[in-house]
Amino acid sequence: MLSLGKHNVLGILIDAVDYEAAVAYVFECARLSRGAIISALAVHGVMTGVLDPEHKFRLNSFDLLLPDGQPVRWVMNWLYGTKLRDRVYGPGLTQKICERAAREGTPIYLYGSTQAVLTSLVESLAMQFPGINIVGSEPSVFRELNPDEKTAIQQRIKSTGAAIVLLGLGCPRQEIFAYEFRETLSAPVLAIGAAFPLLAGMLPQAPAWMQRLGLEWLFRLLVEPRRLWRRYLYLNPAYLVLAALQRLGLRQFSPHGRPPAKEVLVG
């Protein structure tokens, strides 16, 4: 189990951990009914914080920020010699959590995506992990919530007795949601992005060789070019340039963001 603490990547404090350490932390929080917020960040997730000081503040308030993308892992190893042998990929982490949850009877709540995706996801998880205890699921409303709606969501999740909450809202909405619910849910909340449609079998997954080479972004761009071209063709090169500047000592990146002026209440 590898857990080397937080490291500054372009001002975002990423945890140098492996799957084993991440899963152990989630289940320790679940066992103690302790609230925690966790996100698996690829390049896009890191860059949302680099470009927005309020979101940087949110991200650096997380208990765990996991190196989801291979380029994030590579930069961690390049800048700090962390020797991470693998990334902590959101869908892979979700499968490991569900496997252990099924074995131990840990109740799980799913929030986000669409009802169609959730229905397929619940069926898929039940087939992969017999005995898994999914105590509730709720699709996103794809808009801002009002305070009453936020309170109602909190109450619905808590009333199920869920010990782990999995979020599939996409970046950065899921991190905003986790940050704004952090003090009201006594369970670890994991922002895992595209894991919902991927594990539901409704979004194709990049071949293993592309994942190993850090080319998953290219596969996703080919699958969803209209939605993702700006993200990948702008943010990926910017990330690499800024990482090189940090490595060469030509630019310093402060981890201090700016507290959000108001709640966004995304749902």
Alpha carbons 19 and 27: distance in angstroms, whole number:
12
> Which stretches within the chain are classed as H helix?
19-32, 43-51, 53-59, 70-80, 90-104, 115-128, 147-159, 173-180, 195-199, 208-212, 216-223, 225-230, 236-247
Distances (CA, A) of 26 to 3, 30, 163, 242: 13, 6, 10, 31
In this prediction, residue 8 has a pLDDT band, given cuts at 50, 70 and 90, of: very high
The three-class DSSP label of residue 17 is strand
CA 174 to chain centre: 8
Q: 214 near 243, Cβ under 8 Å? A: no
pLDDT at 230: 73
Q: How would you classify the pairing of strands 108-112 and 188-191?
A: unpaired
Indicate the range of 30-39, 108-117, 144-153, 246-255 predicted with least confidence.
144-153
Determine the pLDDT at residue 267. Answer: 66
State residue 235's pLDDT score.
86
Mean residue pLDDT across the chain: 90
pLDDT band at 170 (very low <50, low <70, confident <90, very high): confident
Phi, psi of 213 (to 5 degrees): -85, 5
What DSSP element (H or E) covers 235?
none
Domain ranges within the chain, ordered by starting residue: 3-199
- The CATH code belonging to domain 3-199 is 3.40.50.10660
* Average of per-residue pLDDT across 91-107: 96
Chain segment 43-79, per-residue pLDDT in tens: 999 999 999 999 999 999 999 999 998 999 999 999 9
Cα separation, 239 vs 245, whole angstroms: 10
As a whole number of angstroms, the longest Cα–Cα distance in the chain is: 53
Taking residues 8-35, report their average pLDDT: 96
Instruction: Say if pTM beats, i.e. exceeds, 0.85.
Output: yes
Q: What is the pLDDT of residue 213?
A: 74
Comparing 121-130, 178-187, 210-219, the range with the smallest average pLDDT is 210-219
